[in-house]
Structure 1
């Protein structure tokens, strides 16, 4: 299961995600699962209505309590951000959830999201809109157990080192205290 879990906001490149499902259609071992909803639902429902992507599923919104189960079921986290300067500084929450869950990341994005996939070791990124490159990442993660394990372990370790709630809270509190002293 390669999964997009999150809001279908306009920053996300659903044409790329849907083209990825089309590109991976010949692999019966790969299921593209979209979890969530929002502004781009109509793109998803229109593509599903064509009936030619048996490897594509849309589950709609899940309750918050169901998200850990969704991440446990996912083999790869999908991210595709539109190519726009505004989104170059965007790192969606799904990154942190995937890393903490030990789910490797396959991203088609520019800027910080691409950099984080590389520097954390949690996955791989290609430029925004690169469907073939995104498919190669997914296939590499699914077909090479060593690469998969390395990305999963690195993401989990990175999340523990950098996104621990107690550490983040303490750092944020220190920042606020510093700002109050000015």
Structure 2
């Protein structure tokens, strides 16, 4: 089977869509299938092309058996609704134009979070006469309403109509949370076409390990209790709460505790300015690092902080970084309600706090630090829970869905041909 996968994020980018797509495709190749990924020159989130790449009309490479086709796009930083939308639209057009130059596909998969890629997948499916599978990672455009990036009006209504059109046209929708399936059913989408393949972690790369002594020394973290946020510093994440918690911890005279914030995004500059205004010496900002290095930085953490803004929409979200934290054996402070909080409570791998409550975050950090018995229990539970979210197992689940869709389409095609021959 040939799987044609459209994603505007792919390694060496290190965000969640890039990691999930690569790790799934790698497993499908290992299972004997041919996989082609159409993507763009790596540039997320700074909007600058990574070293060794150029923003060309067409360039190809092979990564662990995956054929990667990179197309030209209008690259912009991960900030500003208009420029990011133009970036998305340029990928939509480029991916469609690239389709005729790829091999015949048995199934076309396109991944969100934004649905312009999914729209490209729908059109490419028509061109290739192959079923289109929508991998739904985010309820977009609802998420841009939640963060205030776009006001109510005709544009938002039009985007929502396109969203519903794509849900109806997809041969299958693969969601990353059960909440998404429930929401789609409430909006009139047939639940029978909606499958669940959650996010997970590559247990070969993320596993418990001692703190990286060299890195710890470079960053001046020896002997400190380190809480960390690793991921995008964007509008949805409410990271001002971490700074406020850092200020409250400092006000208590805690000098051996720090908050490490690794990543880039639209609000990082604002966060650094705010930290300086608060005089926070206990908050360390680090830029995004290559995927191969991420595990070293995870190893520095005693606690992982996962946080989103306080909005009902985010109760349906399961941040993928929680599975990497589990795999590393790092207890979690979860500032997200809903399904993500349910997982933490069920697996007993951390504590759940109210989103955007700096006092609750500061207290949770101090209580876990001062309760070694409870901390060790959560550490052990993390490793147990991570086995349930092994990326190879999840990739196999999604592959079974794609094989079923491709087989059903092949049967329909054969029947249609027989009918045509009989005329």
TM-score by length of 2: 0.41
The answer on whether the counterparts of 2:326 and 2:383 sit within 8 Å (CA) in structure 1 is: yes
Question: Is the 8 Å Cα contact of residues 246 and 280 (structure 2) preserved in structure 1?
Answer: yes
1:169 aligns to 2:395 (yes or no): yes
2:306 corresponds to = 79
Q: Deviations over 1:9-54 (max 9, x none)?
A: 2220112111111111121121111000101112222123226211
Local SS of the residue matching 1:24: helix
CA displacement, residues 120-166 of structure 1 (integer Å, 9 cap, x when unaligned): 21101112112222222211221111111111111111011x11122
Instruction: Indicate how the Cα distance of structure 1 residues 155 and 29 shifts in structure 2: closer, same or farther if over 3 A, else same.
Output: same
CA positional deviation for 1:57? 0.8
List runs of 5+ in structure 1 lacking aligned partners: none
Of 227, 232, 237 in structure 2, the residue corresponding to residue 12 of structure 1 is 237
Instruction: Render the CA deviation track for 1:71-102: whole Å, top value 9, x for unaligned.
Output: 11110001121011221122222101100000
Partner residue, 1:32 = 259
Q: 2:341 aligns with which of 92, 114, 119?
A: 114
Cα distance in structure 1, aligned partners of 2:266 and 2:339: 23
State the secondary structure of the residue aligned to 1:115: helix
Residues of 1 paired with 2:272 and 2:386: CA distance? Answer: 34
> Larger relative CO (CA 8 A, sep 6+): 1 or 2?
1
Counterpart of 1:69 in structure 2 is 296
Tell me the CA shift for residue 176 of structure 1. 2.9
Cα deviation, residue 177, structure 1: 3.4
Superposed displacement of residue 108, structure 1: 1.7
Moved over 6 A (4+): none
- Alignment-derived partner of residue 128 in structure 1: 355
1:141 and 1:7 map into 2 onto residues whose CA distance is 25
State the 1:179 CA deviation. 4.2
> When you count helix as a share of all residues, which structure comes out higher?
1
**Which residue is equivalent to 1:102?**
329
CA distance in 1, matches of 2:368, 2:335: 15
Match 2:373 to one of 140, 146, 168: 146
Larger Rg: 2
Q: Is the 2:234–2:268 Cα contact (8 Å) retained in structure 1?
A: no
CA RMSD of aligned residues (A): 1.6
What is the SS of the residue equivalent to 1:106? Answer: strand
1:3 pairs with one of 224, 228, 246: 228
What TM-score, normalized to structure 1?
A: 0.92
Contact kept? 1:105, 1:123, Cα under 8 Å: yes
Which of 315, 319, 333 is residue 92 of structure 1 equivalent to?
319
- Hey, what's the Cα distance between the residues in 1 that align with 2:346 and 2:338? 12
Runs of 5+ in structure 2 lacking a partner?
Answer: 1-225, 410-423
For 1:48 and 1:136, the matched residues in 2 are separated by 20
Cα contact 2:232–2:265 (8 A) shared by 1: yes
